[in-house]
Amino acid sequence: MRKFALIGVSVLAIGASAAAVSQTRVGAQAAETYRMLELFGDVVSVVERAYVVETDPKKLIEAALDGMLQSLDPHSNYLNAEDLERLNERSTGAYSGVGLEITSENGLVRVITPMDGGPAQRSGVEAGDVITAINGQSAAGLSVAEVSEQLRGPAGESVVVTFLRDGEEPREITIVREVIRTFSVTSRLEGDFGYIRISTFNANTGRELGEAIAELRGENPHLRGIVLDLRNNGGGLLDAAVAVSDAFLERGEIVSQRGRRPNDIHRYSATAGDLTGGLPVAVLINYGSASASEIVAGALRDHQRATLVGLTSFGKGSVQTVMPLRNGQDGALSLTTARYFTPSGQSIQRIGIAPDLEVARSRREAEIVARSSFIYSEAAYTNALDASVGSERRGPHSPNEAPPEDFPTDGDYQLQRALDLLRVGGDLDLLERRPL
Protein backbone atom coordinates (compact mmCIF):
# COMPACT_ATOMS: atom_id res chain seq x y z
CA MET A 1 0.00 0.00 0.00
CA ARG A 2 2.82 2.40 0.87
CA LYS A 3 4.45 1.79 -2.52
CA PHE A 4 1.13 2.65 -4.24
CA ALA A 5 0.96 5.91 -2.29
CA LEU A 6 4.48 7.00 -3.22
CA ILE A 7 3.84 6.36 -6.92
CA GLY A 8 0.69 8.49 -6.80
CA VAL A 9 2.52 11.36 -5.13
CA SER A 10 5.35 11.39 -7.65
CA VAL A 11 2.91 11.60 -10.57
CA LEU A 12 0.98 14.48 -9.01
CA ALA A 13 4.16 16.33 -8.13
CA ILE A 14 5.43 16.07 -11.71
CA GLY A 15 2.08 17.34 -13.02
CA ALA A 16 2.09 20.29 -10.62
CA SER A 17 5.66 21.20 -11.58
CA ALA A 18 4.77 21.11 -15.26
CA ALA A 19 1.95 23.53 -14.56
CA ALA A 20 4.47 26.02 -13.12
CA VAL A 21 2.93 26.08 -9.66
CA SER A 22 5.25 27.49 -6.97
CA GLN A 23 7.52 25.01 -5.22
CA THR A 24 5.98 25.83 -1.87
CA ARG A 25 2.53 25.04 -3.10
CA VAL A 26 3.77 21.86 -4.81
CA GLY A 27 5.28 20.72 -1.54
CA ALA A 28 2.09 21.40 0.40
CA GLN A 29 -0.08 19.64 -2.18
CA ALA A 30 2.26 16.66 -2.32
CA ALA A 31 2.29 16.34 1.46
CA GLU A 32 -1.51 16.43 1.65
CA THR A 33 -1.86 13.99 -1.23
CA TYR A 34 0.63 11.63 0.44
CA ARG A 35 -1.33 11.82 3.69
CA MET A 36 -4.64 11.05 1.98
CA LEU A 37 -3.21 8.17 -0.06
CA GLU A 38 -1.74 6.75 3.13
CA LEU A 39 -5.22 7.07 4.67
CA PHE A 40 -6.66 5.20 1.67
CA GLY A 41 -4.18 2.39 2.24
CA ASP A 42 -5.11 2.26 5.92
CA VAL A 43 -8.82 2.03 5.08
CA VAL A 44 -8.27 -0.81 2.59
CA SER A 45 -6.19 -2.61 5.21
CA VAL A 46 -8.92 -2.25 7.87
CA VAL A 47 -11.63 -3.44 5.47
CA GLU A 48 -9.58 -6.47 4.44
CA ARG A 49 -8.95 -7.38 8.08
CA ALA A 50 -12.24 -6.54 9.81
CA TYR A 51 -15.11 -6.68 7.30
CA VAL A 52 -17.75 -9.31 8.10
CA VAL A 53 -16.86 -11.47 5.09
CA GLU A 54 -13.68 -11.88 3.07
CA THR A 55 -13.16 -9.14 0.47
CA ASP A 56 -11.44 -8.95 -2.90
CA PRO A 57 -8.78 -6.19 -2.72
CA LYS A 58 -8.80 -5.73 -6.49
CA LYS A 59 -12.54 -5.07 -6.56
CA LEU A 60 -12.24 -2.67 -3.63
CA ILE A 61 -9.60 -0.60 -5.35
CA GLU A 62 -11.40 -0.65 -8.73
CA ALA A 63 -14.57 0.57 -7.00
CA ALA A 64 -12.58 3.33 -5.28
CA LEU A 65 -11.05 4.43 -8.58
CA ASP A 66 -14.46 4.50 -10.26
CA GLY A 67 -15.97 6.44 -7.36
CA MET A 68 -13.18 9.00 -7.49
CA LEU A 69 -13.68 9.64 -11.19
CA GLN A 70 -17.48 9.69 -11.06
CA SER A 71 -17.28 12.37 -8.35
CA LEU A 72 -15.85 14.67 -11.05
CA ASP A 73 -18.73 14.42 -13.53
CA PRO A 74 -21.15 11.73 -14.79
CA HIS A 75 -19.00 10.70 -17.76
CA SER A 76 -15.59 10.22 -16.16
CA ASN A 77 -15.01 6.66 -14.99
CA TYR A 78 -12.51 3.87 -14.51
CA LEU A 79 -12.66 0.96 -16.96
CA ASN A 80 -11.13 -2.31 -15.89
CA ALA A 81 -9.61 -4.55 -18.58
CA GLU A 82 -12.95 -6.24 -19.29
CA ASP A 83 -14.79 -2.90 -19.54
CA LEU A 84 -12.15 -1.61 -21.95
CA GLU A 85 -12.54 -4.68 -24.14
CA ARG A 86 -16.33 -4.17 -24.25
CA LEU A 87 -15.86 -0.51 -25.18
CA ASN A 88 -13.63 -1.52 -28.08
CA GLU A 89 -16.23 -4.08 -29.19
CA ARG A 90 -18.98 -1.47 -29.24
CA SER A 91 -16.81 0.95 -31.23
CA THR A 92 -16.31 -1.66 -33.95
CA GLY A 93 -20.01 -2.51 -34.04
CA ALA A 94 -20.61 -6.07 -32.74
CA TYR A 95 -21.29 -7.67 -29.34
CA SER A 96 -23.81 -9.98 -27.66
CA GLY A 97 -26.49 -8.50 -25.39
CA VAL A 98 -29.88 -6.78 -25.31
CA GLY A 99 -28.98 -3.60 -27.21
CA LEU A 100 -29.09 -0.80 -24.64
CA GLU A 101 -27.02 2.32 -24.04
CA ILE A 102 -27.17 2.98 -20.27
CA THR A 103 -25.78 5.39 -17.73
CA SER A 104 -25.83 5.95 -13.96
CA GLU A 105 -27.72 8.76 -12.25
CA ASN A 106 -27.98 9.19 -8.46
CA GLY A 107 -27.61 5.46 -7.85
CA LEU A 108 -30.05 4.51 -10.62
CA VAL A 109 -29.15 2.99 -13.97
CA ARG A 110 -31.14 4.60 -16.73
CA VAL A 111 -31.52 3.91 -20.45
CA ILE A 112 -29.94 6.53 -22.71
CA THR A 113 -31.31 4.85 -25.79
CA PRO A 114 -32.32 1.39 -27.03
CA MET A 115 -30.39 0.48 -30.15
CA ASP A 116 -32.31 0.45 -33.41
CA GLY A 117 -33.78 -2.95 -34.18
CA GLY A 118 -32.28 -4.53 -31.06
CA PRO A 119 -34.16 -6.90 -28.73
CA ALA A 120 -34.69 -4.20 -26.08
CA GLN A 121 -36.23 -1.75 -28.55
CA ARG A 122 -38.49 -4.45 -29.99
CA SER A 123 -39.63 -5.18 -26.42
CA GLY A 124 -40.80 -1.59 -25.97
CA VAL A 125 -37.93 -0.15 -23.91
CA GLU A 126 -37.61 3.63 -24.27
CA ALA A 127 -35.02 6.31 -23.53
CA GLY A 128 -35.29 7.41 -19.90
CA ASP A 129 -36.53 4.08 -18.53
CA VAL A 130 -34.91 3.10 -15.22
CA ILE A 131 -33.64 -0.46 -14.70
CA THR A 132 -34.85 -1.49 -11.24
CA ALA A 133 -34.19 -5.25 -11.25
CA ILE A 134 -32.46 -7.94 -13.28
CA ASN A 135 -33.61 -11.55 -13.00
CA GLY A 136 -35.56 -10.63 -9.86
CA GLN A 137 -32.58 -9.05 -8.09
CA SER A 138 -32.62 -5.33 -7.30
CA ALA A 139 -30.38 -3.16 -9.47
CA ALA A 140 -30.32 -0.31 -6.93
CA GLY A 141 -26.79 0.88 -6.32
CA LEU A 142 -25.25 -1.17 -9.12
CA SER A 143 -22.74 0.52 -11.39
CA VAL A 144 -23.14 0.76 -15.16
CA ALA A 145 -20.43 -1.90 -15.53
CA GLU A 146 -22.24 -4.28 -13.17
CA VAL A 147 -25.57 -3.85 -14.95
CA SER A 148 -23.91 -4.21 -18.34
CA GLU A 149 -22.28 -7.45 -17.21
CA GLN A 150 -25.65 -8.89 -16.22
CA LEU A 151 -27.38 -7.77 -19.42
CA ARG A 152 -24.72 -9.25 -21.68
CA GLY A 153 -24.44 -12.96 -22.31
CA PRO A 154 -24.58 -15.68 -24.95
CA ALA A 155 -26.98 -15.09 -27.82
CA GLY A 156 -30.24 -17.01 -27.40
CA GLU A 157 -30.29 -16.82 -23.60
CA SER A 158 -32.94 -14.62 -21.94
CA VAL A 159 -32.76 -12.10 -19.14
CA VAL A 160 -35.71 -10.70 -17.18
CA VAL A 161 -35.41 -6.94 -16.66
CA THR A 162 -37.77 -4.71 -14.67
CA PHE A 163 -38.14 -1.16 -15.99
CA LEU A 164 -39.73 1.87 -14.35
CA ARG A 165 -41.15 4.66 -16.48
CA ASP A 166 -42.58 7.94 -15.26
CA GLY A 167 -46.29 7.69 -14.42
CA GLU A 168 -46.51 3.94 -15.00
CA GLU A 169 -46.31 0.75 -12.99
CA PRO A 170 -43.01 -1.23 -13.15
CA ARG A 171 -42.86 -3.54 -16.17
CA GLU A 172 -41.08 -6.89 -16.12
CA ILE A 173 -39.81 -7.76 -19.60
CA THR A 174 -38.12 -10.94 -20.76
CA ILE A 175 -35.50 -10.07 -23.39
CA VAL A 176 -33.67 -12.67 -25.45
CA ARG A 177 -30.04 -11.71 -25.99
CA GLU A 178 -28.73 -11.44 -29.54
CA VAL A 179 -25.49 -10.69 -31.30
CA ILE A 180 -25.88 -6.94 -31.72
CA ARG A 181 -24.40 -5.99 -35.06
CA THR A 182 -24.63 -2.25 -35.15
CA PHE A 183 -25.21 -1.04 -38.68
CA SER A 184 -25.18 2.60 -37.78
CA VAL A 185 -26.73 3.87 -41.04
CA THR A 186 -29.99 2.80 -42.68
CA SER A 187 -31.83 4.58 -45.47
CA ARG A 188 -34.92 4.52 -47.66
CA LEU A 189 -36.84 6.69 -50.10
CA GLU A 190 -39.82 8.74 -48.93
CA GLY A 191 -41.26 9.71 -52.30
CA ASP A 192 -38.88 12.29 -53.79
CA PHE A 193 -36.93 12.57 -50.56
CA GLY A 194 -34.24 10.47 -48.97
CA TYR A 195 -34.49 9.35 -45.35
CA ILE A 196 -31.23 8.46 -43.58
CA ARG A 197 -31.19 7.13 -40.03
CA ILE A 198 -27.95 7.15 -38.00
CA SER A 199 -28.41 5.13 -34.81
CA THR A 200 -24.87 5.47 -33.42
CA PHE A 201 -21.49 6.86 -34.42
CA ASN A 202 -18.90 4.11 -34.79
CA ALA A 203 -15.85 3.39 -36.94
CA ASN A 204 -18.04 2.49 -39.94
CA THR A 205 -20.49 5.41 -39.89
CA GLY A 206 -18.73 7.75 -42.32
CA ARG A 207 -18.34 5.02 -44.94
CA GLU A 208 -21.91 3.75 -44.47
CA LEU A 209 -23.31 7.28 -44.84
CA GLY A 210 -21.45 7.85 -48.10
CA GLU A 211 -22.80 4.55 -49.44
CA ALA A 212 -26.36 5.42 -48.34
CA ILE A 213 -26.29 8.83 -50.06
CA ALA A 214 -24.93 7.31 -53.27
CA GLU A 215 -27.57 4.57 -53.21
CA LEU A 216 -30.44 7.04 -52.67
CA ARG A 217 -29.25 9.30 -55.48
CA GLY A 218 -28.88 6.24 -57.71
CA GLU A 219 -32.43 5.08 -56.96
CA ASN A 220 -33.86 8.55 -57.55
CA PRO A 221 -31.61 10.96 -59.50
CA HIS A 222 -34.19 13.69 -58.89
CA LEU A 223 -34.10 13.73 -55.09
CA ARG A 224 -35.48 16.95 -53.66
CA GLY A 225 -33.99 16.73 -50.18
CA ILE A 226 -32.78 14.51 -47.34
CA VAL A 227 -34.04 13.89 -43.80
CA LEU A 228 -31.19 12.98 -41.44
CA ASP A 229 -32.64 11.25 -38.37
CA LEU A 230 -30.49 11.54 -35.22
CA ARG A 231 -33.27 10.97 -32.68
CA ASN A 232 -32.31 8.76 -29.72
CA ASN A 233 -28.75 8.56 -31.02
CA GLY A 234 -26.60 8.63 -27.89
CA GLY A 235 -23.40 9.51 -29.75
CA GLY A 236 -20.13 7.66 -30.23
CA LEU A 237 -16.85 8.49 -31.92
CA LEU A 238 -15.83 12.10 -32.57
CA ASP A 239 -14.16 11.16 -35.88
CA ALA A 240 -17.47 9.68 -37.06
CA ALA A 241 -19.35 12.88 -36.17
CA VAL A 242 -16.80 14.92 -38.10
CA ALA A 243 -17.10 12.58 -41.10
CA VAL A 244 -20.91 12.82 -41.11
CA SER A 245 -20.86 16.61 -40.90
CA ASP A 246 -18.20 16.79 -43.62
CA ALA A 247 -20.45 14.77 -45.95
CA PHE A 248 -22.89 17.72 -46.12
CA LEU A 249 -20.41 20.63 -45.99
CA GLU A 250 -18.02 22.19 -48.49
CA ARG A 251 -15.87 24.09 -46.02
CA GLY A 252 -15.66 25.63 -42.55
CA GLU A 253 -15.27 24.54 -38.96
CA ILE A 254 -17.31 21.56 -37.78
CA VAL A 255 -16.60 21.61 -34.05
CA SER A 256 -13.99 22.80 -31.58
CA GLN A 257 -13.04 21.26 -28.27
CA ARG A 258 -11.60 23.46 -25.55
CA GLY A 259 -9.76 22.11 -22.56
CA ARG A 260 -8.50 23.39 -19.25
CA ARG A 261 -5.79 25.71 -20.58
CA PRO A 262 -6.52 28.74 -22.81
CA ASN A 263 -4.36 27.37 -25.63
CA ASP A 264 -5.78 23.84 -25.36
CA ILE A 265 -8.12 24.16 -28.34
CA HIS A 266 -8.59 21.64 -31.14
CA ARG A 267 -10.60 22.53 -34.24
CA TYR A 268 -12.03 20.15 -36.83
CA SER A 269 -12.88 21.47 -40.30
CA ALA A 270 -14.69 20.23 -43.37
CA THR A 271 -13.03 19.32 -46.64
CA ALA A 272 -14.40 20.23 -50.06
CA GLY A 273 -17.16 18.03 -51.45
CA ASP A 274 -20.82 17.95 -50.42
CA LEU A 275 -21.92 14.36 -51.15
CA THR A 276 -25.55 15.46 -51.60
CA GLY A 277 -24.80 18.13 -54.18
CA GLY A 278 -26.37 20.81 -51.98
CA LEU A 279 -29.78 19.19 -51.49
CA PRO A 280 -31.93 20.72 -48.72
CA VAL A 281 -31.49 18.84 -45.42
CA ALA A 282 -33.75 18.53 -42.37
CA VAL A 283 -32.20 17.01 -39.23
CA LEU A 284 -34.44 15.26 -36.69
CA ILE A 285 -33.33 15.54 -33.03
CA ASN A 286 -34.87 14.93 -29.63
CA TYR A 287 -33.82 14.67 -25.99
CA GLY A 288 -32.19 11.31 -26.75
CA SER A 289 -29.81 12.93 -29.26
CA ALA A 290 -26.49 13.33 -27.48
CA SER A 291 -22.81 14.07 -27.96
CA ALA A 292 -21.81 13.22 -31.55
CA SER A 293 -25.42 13.76 -32.67
CA GLU A 294 -25.31 17.27 -31.22
CA ILE A 295 -22.00 18.00 -32.94
CA VAL A 296 -23.54 17.15 -36.32
CA ALA A 297 -26.77 19.05 -35.66
CA GLY A 298 -24.89 22.12 -34.42
CA ALA A 299 -22.45 22.17 -37.33
CA LEU A 300 -25.10 21.82 -40.03
CA ARG A 301 -27.34 24.45 -38.45
CA ASP A 302 -24.53 26.98 -37.85
CA HIS A 303 -23.48 26.69 -41.49
CA GLN A 304 -27.12 27.15 -42.54
CA ARG A 305 -26.84 23.76 -44.22
CA ALA A 306 -29.81 22.16 -42.45
CA THR A 307 -32.93 22.97 -40.48
CA LEU A 308 -33.40 21.18 -37.17
CA VAL A 309 -36.79 19.61 -36.43
CA GLY A 310 -37.96 17.98 -33.19
CA LEU A 311 -37.09 18.69 -29.56
CA THR A 312 -34.09 20.10 -27.70
CA SER A 313 -31.22 17.62 -27.61
CA PHE A 314 -29.70 15.92 -24.55
CA GLY A 315 -26.92 18.42 -23.83
CA LYS A 316 -23.79 16.27 -23.55
CA GLY A 317 -21.10 18.64 -24.74
CA SER A 318 -18.08 17.19 -22.97
CA VAL A 319 -15.13 15.28 -24.39
CA GLN A 320 -13.97 12.01 -22.84
CA THR A 321 -10.45 10.81 -23.57
CA VAL A 322 -9.77 7.11 -23.03
CA MET A 323 -6.32 6.72 -21.45
CA PRO A 324 -5.12 3.09 -21.30
CA LEU A 325 -3.19 2.10 -18.18
CA ARG A 326 -0.14 -0.06 -18.85
CA ASN A 327 -1.27 -0.61 -22.45
CA GLY A 328 -4.73 -1.60 -21.26
CA GLN A 329 -3.58 -4.42 -18.99
CA ASP A 330 -4.93 -2.46 -16.01
CA GLY A 331 -7.86 -1.03 -17.94
CA ALA A 332 -8.17 2.65 -18.73
CA LEU A 333 -9.44 6.00 -17.54
CA SER A 334 -12.27 7.61 -19.44
CA LEU A 335 -11.65 11.18 -18.36
CA THR A 336 -13.49 14.37 -19.30
CA THR A 337 -10.81 16.59 -20.83
CA ALA A 338 -12.68 19.29 -22.78
CA ARG A 339 -16.01 20.79 -23.84
CA TYR A 340 -17.46 20.81 -27.35
CA PHE A 341 -18.49 24.06 -29.08
CA THR A 342 -20.40 24.50 -32.32
CA PRO A 343 -18.84 26.62 -35.12
CA SER A 344 -20.63 29.75 -33.86
CA GLY A 345 -19.16 29.23 -30.38
CA GLN A 346 -22.32 27.79 -28.81
CA SER A 347 -21.74 25.46 -25.88
CA ILE A 348 -23.61 22.16 -26.07
CA GLN A 349 -22.94 21.15 -22.46
CA ARG A 350 -26.07 21.01 -20.24
CA ILE A 351 -27.97 23.29 -22.64
CA GLY A 352 -28.43 21.06 -25.66
CA ILE A 353 -29.35 22.31 -29.11
CA ALA A 354 -32.83 23.74 -29.62
CA PRO A 355 -34.58 22.89 -32.92
CA ASP A 356 -35.60 25.50 -35.48
CA LEU A 357 -39.02 23.84 -35.70
CA GLU A 358 -40.08 22.49 -32.31
CA VAL A 359 -42.33 19.48 -32.82
CA ALA A 360 -43.35 16.70 -30.43
CA ARG A 361 -43.63 13.21 -31.93
CA SER A 362 -46.82 12.48 -30.00
CA ARG A 363 -49.27 14.26 -27.71
CA ARG A 364 -47.89 12.22 -24.81
CA GLU A 365 -44.39 13.50 -25.59
CA ALA A 366 -45.72 17.06 -25.67
CA GLU A 367 -47.07 16.55 -22.14
CA ILE A 368 -43.66 15.31 -20.96
CA VAL A 369 -41.94 18.43 -22.34
CA ALA A 370 -44.52 20.59 -20.57
CA ARG A 371 -43.33 19.10 -17.26
CA SER A 372 -39.71 18.75 -18.30
CA SER A 373 -38.50 17.71 -14.88
CA PHE A 374 -39.30 14.23 -16.23
CA ILE A 375 -37.14 14.65 -19.33
CA TYR A 376 -33.87 12.79 -19.09
CA SER A 377 -31.07 15.19 -20.06
CA GLU A 378 -27.54 16.19 -19.07
CA ALA A 379 -28.97 18.97 -16.91
CA ALA A 380 -30.65 16.32 -14.72
CA TYR A 381 -27.26 15.19 -13.37
CA THR A 382 -26.43 16.83 -10.05
CA ASN A 383 -22.71 16.86 -10.87
CA ALA A 384 -22.91 17.72 -14.56
CA LEU A 385 -20.16 19.94 -15.90
CA ASP A 386 -21.39 23.50 -16.41
CA ALA A 387 -21.84 25.08 -19.84
CA SER A 388 -19.07 27.68 -19.32
CA VAL A 389 -21.08 30.33 -21.21
CA GLY A 390 -23.75 31.31 -18.67
CA SER A 391 -26.72 29.93 -20.63
CA GLU A 392 -29.31 27.53 -19.24
CA ARG A 393 -31.46 24.79 -20.71
CA ARG A 394 -35.04 25.85 -21.35
CA GLY A 395 -37.43 24.75 -18.61
CA PRO A 396 -40.96 23.25 -18.81
CA HIS A 397 -43.01 24.57 -21.72
CA SER A 398 -45.52 23.43 -24.31
CA PRO A 399 -43.87 22.55 -27.64
CA ASN A 400 -44.77 24.75 -30.57
CA GLU A 401 -46.34 21.84 -32.40
CA ALA A 402 -47.78 18.41 -31.62
CA PRO A 403 -49.86 15.94 -33.65
CA PRO A 404 -53.56 16.68 -34.04
CA GLU A 405 -55.88 14.44 -32.04
CA ASP A 406 -56.78 12.36 -35.10
CA PHE A 407 -53.14 11.67 -36.03
CA PRO A 408 -52.43 7.89 -36.13
CA THR A 409 -50.89 6.65 -32.87
CA ASP A 410 -48.27 4.68 -34.80
CA GLY A 411 -47.42 7.63 -37.03
CA ASP A 412 -44.24 9.75 -36.93
CA TYR A 413 -45.34 13.38 -36.78
CA GLN A 414 -41.79 14.74 -36.52
CA LEU A 415 -40.81 12.97 -39.74
CA GLN A 416 -43.97 14.20 -41.44
CA ARG A 417 -43.16 17.80 -40.52
CA ALA A 418 -39.55 17.39 -41.70
CA LEU A 419 -40.85 16.20 -45.07
CA ASP A 420 -43.34 19.11 -45.14
CA LEU A 421 -40.40 21.44 -44.60
CA LEU A 422 -38.40 19.92 -47.44
CA ARG A 423 -41.40 20.22 -49.78
CA VAL A 424 -41.11 24.01 -49.44
CA GLY A 425 -37.37 23.89 -50.01
CA GLY A 426 -36.41 23.96 -46.34
CA ASP A 427 -37.78 27.50 -45.91
CA LEU A 428 -39.40 27.85 -42.47
CA ASP A 429 -41.13 31.06 -43.53
CA LEU A 430 -43.06 29.15 -46.20
CA LEU A 431 -44.06 26.30 -43.88
CA GLU A 432 -47.62 26.23 -42.60
CA ARG A 433 -47.43 26.18 -38.79
CA ARG A 434 -49.64 23.78 -36.85
CA PRO A 435 -49.68 24.84 -33.18
CA LEU A 436 -50.69 22.51 -30.35
**pLDDT at residue number 22:** 57
**pLDDT at residue number 285:** 98
The catalytically annotated residue of 83, 229, 302, 377 is 302
Least confident range of 115-129, 250-264, 344-358: 115-129
- Express as a percent the part of the chain with pLDDT over 70: 91
**Is 302 a catalytic site residue?**
yes
Q: pLDDT-based confidence at 24, cuts 50/70/90? A: confident
Average pLDDT along the chain: 88
Determine the average pLDDT of the residues in 22-38.
82
**pLDDT at residue number 92:** 58
- CA torsion sign for 203, 207, 209, 212 is negative
CATH architecture entry for 183-430: Alpha-Beta Complex (3.90)
Q: What's CA 381's distance to the chain center, in Å?
A: 14
Least confident range of 99-103, 119-123, 180-184, 251-255: 180-184
Distance separating alpha carbons of residues 344 and 114, to the nearest angstrom: 31
Q: pLDDT-based confidence at 183, cuts 50/70/90? A: confident
Q: Where are the domains of the chain?
A: 2-79, 94-180, 183-430
**pLDDT at residue number 262:** 85
The catalytically annotated residue of 199, 293, 316, 334 is 316
DSSP string of 178-223? EEEE---EEEEEETTEEEEEE--B-TTHHHHHHHHHHHHHHH-TT-
Distance separating alpha carbons of residues 404 and 434, to the nearest angstrom: 9
Least confident range of 77-86, 102-111, 163-172: 102-111
Most confidently modeled range among 26-35, 80-89, 179-188, 224-233: 224-233
DSSP string of 361-389? SSHHHHHHHHTGGGS--GGG-TTPPP-SS
**Residues 65-68: contacts with CB within 8 Å, 24+ apart?**
66/143, 66/145
Q: pLDDT-based confidence at 392, cuts 50/70/90? A: confident
Least confident range of 48-62, 264-278, 387-401, 413-427: 387-401
Number of other CB atoms surrounding residue 51 within 10 Å = 10
Indicate if the pLDDT at residue 395 is higher than 90: no
CATH architecture entry for 94-180: Roll (2.30)
Which residue would you say has higher pLDDT here, 414 or 376?
Answer: 414
**pLDDT at residue number 7:** 32
Indicate if the pLDDT at residue 408 is higher than 50: yes
Measured CA distances, 352 to 285, 300, 377 (Å): 10, 15, 9
Contact 293, 279 (CB under 8 A): no
Determine the average pLDDT of the residues in 417-426.
96
**pLDDT at residue number 181:** 73
**What do you get for the CA distance between the two ends of the chain, in Å?**
63
**pLDDT at residue number 418:** 98
Distance separating alpha carbons of residues 300 and 227, to the nearest angstrom: 13
Indicate if the pLDDT at residue 89 is higher than 90: no
**Is 58 a catalytic site residue?**
no
Indicate if the pLDDT at residue 275 is higher than 70: yes
Indicate if the pLDDT at residue 235 is higher than 60: yes
**Is 291 a catalytic site residue?**
yes
DSSP string of 69-127? HHTT-TT-EEE-HHHHHHHHHHHHTEEEE--EEEEEETTEEEEEEEPTTSHHHHTT--T
Residue type, 252: G
Indicate if the pLDDT at residue 2 is higher than 70: no
- Express as a percent the part of the chain with pLDDT over 90: 59
**Residues 152-158: contacts with CB within 8 Å, 24+ apart?**
152/86, 152/95, 152/96, 152/97, 152/98, 152/177, 153/96, 153/97, 153/177, 154/96, 155/96, 155/179
Indicate if the pLDDT at residue 10 is higher than 50: no
Indicate if the pLDDT at residue 9 is higher than 60: no
* pLDDT tens-digit readout, 141-170: 888 878 988 998 889 999 999 999 877 889
Which residue would you say has higher pLDDT here, 9 or 94?
Answer: 94
* pLDDT tens-digit readout, 316-361: 999 999 999 999 899 999 999 999 999 999 999 999 999 999 999 9
* pLDDT tens-digit readout, 192-223: 999 999 998 988 999 999 999 999 999 999 99
The catalytically annotated residue of 143, 184, 245, 291 is 291
Least confident range of 229-233, 385-389, 424-428: 385-389
Indicate if the pLDDT at residue 20 is higher than 60: no
**pLDDT at residue number 93:** 55
